[in-house]
Chain A
Amino acid sequence: MTPTTYDTSRWQADIGLEIHCQLLTRTRLFSPGPLPATTDAAPNSLLTPFDLGLPGTLPQLNARAVDLALVAGIALGCDINPISHFDRKHYLYPDLPKGYQITQQERPICQNGRILFEHEGQPHTLPLERIHLEEDAGRSLHDRLPHHTLVDLNRAGTPLIEIVTAPALHCPLATEAALRALHRLLVWLQICDGNLQEGSMRFDANISVRPTGSTEPGVRCELKNLNSFRFVREALTFEIDRHIALLQTGQTVRSQTRAYDDRARQTVLLRERDALPDYRFLRDPDLPPLLLDEARIQRLREHHPEHPDALERRLTTTFNLPAPIARTLCESPTRATFFENATAEFPPDLPIDARHTRALACANLLINTLLALLDADHPDLSALAITPAQLATIASLQAAGELSATVAAALCEEVARTGQDPLGIVEARALRQCRDPELLGRLVDAVLDDHPDQLKAYRQGKTQLLGFFIGQAMRRAHVEPDPRLLTSIFRERLS
């Protein structure tokens, strides 16, 4: 899909985002009730009296959720409000047990800030308006029984942050890029697991279109619950075209809430927005103002991890790693930390070239061997028995030519399963490559003696037979020869 299907010299789109992110806490925002770790927890099996909205219950604010919201605020360069408030937002819905949702309307925990992202090779800044804390509602199940709605409150009270951007985006592709950058950062910082299918992160987009040059904002439509980056891009593109088509034919855009039908590839009307619901906000009288002392914010700032972009740049420059490898390492903090801990084992005075070779070996073993061992049961590197130091040992042996790539990978896999000392295995099974020139010289001579016809053919110019000779030598050897040394000896003999 092209970034813009419309004439930007005539029309300008203004796009703003509201992003709901489920915080990675163990308990709910206002109760000690556990959260479903998997989606198959039996409905309504994890609830405390507060989660059910039972009479006499009071909210207890989850300090961990507050910290995660603050980490998000710090990462996105927000101003943190030393005093924020919780408000009740009233509406009647079967999965809203108290008859209201506790959110932050009037004074959110964080304000301002920005999302930094790259689009068409250029750095961009998307200003934020606010980040606020709120509790999720439960789930209404309309399709289980005919004529009945079932309610599962296991999700009710799940801590969310809502990130609201300024309407400062103008094209669907840039919007997608901004959302991807935000997603990566929040997942990286372990604020949110970022699972779009399960709704851990959900996007709403506000869109309006005006004639280019006009300062009068266009009529706004809201696109609800876009649960993939692609849907955001497609829905916005469709919507911009729809608005322009209306405007060009002299019609008016109506203020509506719309959803994206990804099969029909079009947005569909949910409701008119003329009569906005009256949420009758009330400062929650059960919750005192949230006071954040400077020490708490400072502590989080000091422990604030390096952002993935910065780390990626640092890995690329320190180890001279190819960009795709650095990016793969920076896909998760555990991965990057494992790599960094391994490379920390390298001797400090290593020349730059040697460091590069070892780091590259490390990265390749990590990405190609170790990550391949992970599965749903062992989703994390910490599930493997191998330590970063052991990975460094294997990578160093490989970089020094002592182990072949194949042997190094097999050894890595074995250590990952058993946790045994890699050097011990290397010695016990004599896995080191043979690098003795005399021994290899004899091997080369023996191969050439055994294949006089091929030798003749080679001398007559069939130089691709070098591979054949090397293969023969490898097969015949009792210990694995260093292929580089072997090759150079062949070349020497054949020249």
Chain B
Amino acid sequence: MSQRGTFDGTFDAFAALPRPAERFFKKSQGDPLGALLSSATPEEVASAALTAEGPLAGLPIGVKDNLCTRDLPTTAASRLLEGYRSPFDATVVERLRTAGALIVTKTNLDEFAMGSTGQHSAFKPTLHPLSPAHSPGGSSSGSAAAVAAGWLPAALGSDTGGSLRQPASTCGVVGFKPTYGRVSRHGLIAFASSLDHVGWLTRCVADAALLFDVLAGPDPRDPSALTDRPERASTHPIPSIPALRLGLLPALMEDTPIHPAIARAFDALIERLRSASATLLDLFPEHLELAGPTYTAISSAEAASNLARYEGLRFGRRAALSPNAPSTLETFAAHTRSALLGEEVQRRLVLGHSLLSGQTTLANAQNARAHIQKTLDEALTHVDALLTPTTPDTAPALQNADDPEHLRDRFTLPANLAGLPAISLPLGCDEAGLSFGLQLIGRRGDDARLLAIARALEAFLTSP
């Protein structure tokens, strides 16, 4: 993928750029992290900056490359969509522009957002900003790396099973995923529609709240979008620590092998919160142990369905056919997909198609999902939010980044299955200096309150 408009220090446009945008072009030069798939030129950004007005005026923002943009290509990091240009902006992109933000770059991801490593992009792997031998996590790897590296104040991502909170956790930034339907999915290239959430990565919770107020709200172009107006998050009163009622999930924690540094930091936080008079309850929502297989079944089946449209006929690329190539549509599509889709995507499609044919597993999974949703909603009637580590481990080394058993997704999957808002904020670092995060899962629709609680905890964590 070609890099457009990499800054070489001689552009006249440079002077017209707002400070943060200038910083983006300077710092991201050469993209040593493999975080960016395409970028606007400084001239383009400077000209957009001239008319930018609104709460985000002049702020450079990166957009995960599975969100449609008119002016930059949209590829979902797949060869199949190489060179594809969407005729429309995703609703969130449109809202960013209206708020004055500058869309400066499209960030790298695992192909079609499938994978949790940043290594499954068809174009290049994303590297961890602090340690190039490690994976930043994924699939919103490019967005997390660019924010963590200080190139951008914020970047949009998507979260289907933790794709945004996990890289936030391993890269030491804030990752927020709102209630399902709170933010429009119009313009998000679908992976698993019922699990996909648009979310964002920022450096602090206050920024996440600011973006929430710009991006959340009804959208007639998304039938699953909630129709009520959300409460404002940036002005929501921040609760005091003694006023916090938080739930812990001891059964889920015991069931998961947790990195000792993470366990220590988490336990220490609980102790500190107790001493500061916060209320902490042990809760035991049932069926969470089914989250992994349930997620695998539903996400693969929906992915197989959503990707049915990519047969190489109408948009993106088509595989070159050899002279003796098959000529029926079916074999043509199979050939295109085999040649142009990565292994990870193909693996999930094969699984998804067989699940759709069988139906029984899928029905069981839908059933389990309904249970998980019910049991989490019930747990949240006792507390304002649930508290877990975001990931049980820090950033994995590149060579063993894959996690076929979804061990790393243990804590993030339930919020996607239930459609609940969840946020990851930095909790600490291990001995090697690799970050890990703290996850809060909020009540359905109560995004503003969750962000306020996260702000309280963020302040508490950084206070002496």
**Of the residues B76, B223, B329, B353, contact of A58 by C-beta under 8 Å:** B223
A53 at interface (Cβ–Cβ under 8 A)? Answer: yes
Most chain B CB inside 10 Å of its own CB: which residue of A56, A58, A90, A92: A56
List the 8 closest pairs (A to B, CB-CB), nearest first: A99-B308, A280-B356, A285-B193, A285-B194, A56-B68, A56-B187, A55-B189, A53-B309
Q: Determine the residue in chain A with the shortest Cβ distance to B225.
A: A58
A58 adjacent to B185 (CB under 8 Å):
yes
A97 adjacent to B314 (CB under 8 Å):
yes
1/0 contact trace for B311-350 toward A, CB 8 Å? 1011100000000000001100100000000000000000
With A282-B301, A282-B356 known to touch, is A288 a contact of B333 (CB < 8 Å)? no
A55 adjacent to B308 (CB under 8 Å):
no
A60 adjacent to B224 (CB under 8 Å):
no
Q: CB within 8 Å of B: which residues of A?
A: 49, 52-61, 88, 90, 92-94, 97-100, 278, 280-283, 285-288
- When chains A and B are docked, how far (Å) is the Cα of A311 from the Cα of B353? 53
Chain A contacts of B330 at CB under 8 A?
92
B357 adjacent to A93 (CB under 8 Å):
no
Chain B contacts of A280 at CB under 8 A?
304-305, 353, 356-357
- When chains A and B are docked, how far (Å) is the Cα of A364 from the Cα of B407? 82
With A61-B223, A285-B193 known to touch, is A56 a contact of B186 (CB < 8 Å)? yes
A495 → B minimal CB distance (Å): 84
B305 adjacent to A288 (CB under 8 Å):
no
A56 adjacent to B67 (CB under 8 Å):
yes
Chain B contacts of A60 at CB under 8 A?
220-221, 223
Q: Which of B354-400 contact A (CB under 8 A)?
A: 356-357, 359, 362, 366
A56 adjacent to B308 (CB under 8 Å):
no
**Of the residues B220, B305, B359, contact of A90 by C-beta under 8 Å:** B305
Most chain B CB inside 10 Å of its own CB: which residue of A55, A61, A92, A285: A55
B216 → A minimal CB distance (Å): 17
B462 → A minimal CB distance (Å): 38
- When chains A and B are docked, how far (Å) is the Cα of A49 from the Cα of B353? 26
- When chains A and B are docked, how far (Å) is the Cα of A93 from the Cα of B328? 10
Looking at B80-88, B130-138, B276-284, B434-442, the stretch in contact with chain A turns out to be B80-88
A54 adjacent to B87 (CB under 8 Å):
yes
B309 adjacent to A97 (CB under 8 Å):
yes
With A58-B185, A278-B357, A282-B356 known to touch, is A52 a contact of B314 (CB < 8 Å)? yes
B193 adjacent to A56 (CB under 8 Å):
no
- When chains A and B are docked, how far (Å) is the Cα of A286 from the Cα of B223? 7
Chain B contacts of A94 at CB under 8 A?
313, 329
- When chains A and B are docked, how far (Å) is the Cα of A287 from the Cα of B311? 23
How many interface residues does chain B have, given as a range? Answer: 35 or more
B325 → A minimal CB distance (Å): 14
- When chains A and B are docked, how far (Å) is the Cα of A288 from the Cα of B87? 26
Chain A contacts of B68 at CB under 8 A?
55-56
Q: Which of B57-115 contact A (CB under 8 A)?
A: 67-68, 74, 76, 81, 84, 86-88, 90
Q: Which of B166-214 contact A (CB under 8 A)?
A: 185-190, 192-194
B31 at interface (Cβ–Cβ under 8 A)? Answer: no
B187 adjacent to A100 (CB under 8 Å):
no
Chain B contacts of A93 at CB under 8 A?
329
- When chains A and B are docked, how far (Å) is the Cα of A59 from the Cα of B188? 13
With A56-B187, A56-B188 known to touch, is A90 a contact of B314 (CB < 8 Å)? no
B86 adjacent to A54 (CB under 8 Å):
yes
Chain B contacts of A286 at CB under 8 A?
190, 193, 223-224
- When chains A and B are docked, how far (Å) is the Cα of A58 from the Cα of B306? 11
- When chains A and B are docked, how far (Å) is the Cα of A93 from the Cα of B305? 14
B409 at interface (Cβ–Cβ under 8 A)? Answer: no
B444 → A minimal CB distance (Å): 15
Chain A contacts of B159 at CB under 8 A?
none
B222 at interface (Cβ–Cβ under 8 A)? Answer: yes
Chain B contacts of A56 at CB under 8 A?
67-68, 74, 86, 88, 90, 186-190
Chain A contacts of B220 at CB under 8 A?
60
B447 at interface (Cβ–Cβ under 8 A)? Answer: no
Chain A contacts of B88 at CB under 8 A?
49, 56
B302 at interface (Cβ–Cβ under 8 A)? Answer: yes
Chain A contacts of B194 at CB under 8 A?
285
Chain B contacts of A52 at CB under 8 A?
314-315
Chain B contacts of A59 at CB under 8 A?
223
Most chain A CB inside 10 Å of its own CB: which residue of B88, B187, B222, B305: B305
- When chains A and B are docked, how far (Å) is the Cα of A98 from the Cα of B190? 12
Return 6 A-B CB contacts under 8 Å, by A number.
A56-B90, A56-B186, A99-B305, A99-B310, A99-B311, A287-B223
Chain B contacts of A54 at CB under 8 A?
86-87, 315
Chain A contacts of B90 at CB under 8 A?
56
- When chains A and B are docked, how far (Å) is the Cα of A98 from the Cα of B311? 10
**Of the residues A49, A57, A282, A288, contact of B224 by C-beta under 8 Å:** A288
- When chains A and B are docked, how far (Å) is the Cα of A49 from the Cα of B310? 15
Chain B contacts of A53 at CB under 8 A?
309, 314
Chain A contacts of B185 at CB under 8 A?
58
Contacts A283-B366, A288-B224 known; 14 new A-B pairs at CB < 8 A: A49-B86, A52-B314, A55-B84, A56-B188, A59-B223, A61-B223, A92-B308, A97-B309, A97-B314, A99-B310, A280-B305, A280-B353, A285-B192, A287-B224
Chain A contacts of B304 at CB under 8 A?
280
B417 → A minimal CB distance (Å): 13
Chain B contacts of A49 at CB under 8 A?
86-88
